[in-house]
Homo-oligomer: A and B are copies of this chain.
Amino acid sequence: MKDKELTIDQKIKYVQDTLFVISGKWKLPILIAINQGCYRFRDIHRSVLPISTRVLSKELKDLEQNKLVIRTVYDALSKTVEYTVSPYCKSLKPLVDEMIKWGQNHRRKISEK
């Protein structure tokens, strides 16, 4: 489906859908941390501080429900759990890249005055 065919209401709806999934202070930072090699809860927590462990648990669950994160229990006895980003999560890359670029530029822009 081409972007040009969308009405303004549809555009707004899709943007709101996207924001609903990635919005808030933590979800994208968590995905970036996992994607960069933080697979354990503790490591993710350390990378995304000052998030609380309670909020991190909730965010990881949301991300799992949205098919962006895969939670694997490796060892039932020791309950070793690892988080990885799903193949589908890669679809966020162009969006995240744009956000990094825009945020970097915006800092310059706002400090201009």
Contact = CB atoms under 8 A, between A and B. Distances in A.
Interface of A: 1, 3, 6, 8, 11-25, 28-29, 32-33, 36, 47-48, 66-67, 88, 91-92, 94-107, 109-110
Contact of A18 (B13, B91, B103): B103
Contacts of A23: 19, 23-24
Q: Which 4 A-B pairs have the closest CB atoms?
A: A14-B103, A17-B103, A18-B103, A18-B99
**How many identical chains are in the complex?**
2
A95 B88 CA distance: 19
28 contacts: A3-B101, A8-B32, A8-B36, A11-B100, A12-B47, A13-B103, A14-B101, A14-B102, A14-B103, A14-B104, A14-B107, A15-B28, A15-B100, A16-B25, A17-B106, A18-B99, A18-B100, A18-B102, A18-B106, A19-B24, A20-B25, A23-B23, A23-B24, A66-B110, A67-B109, A88-B109, A91-B102, A95-B98
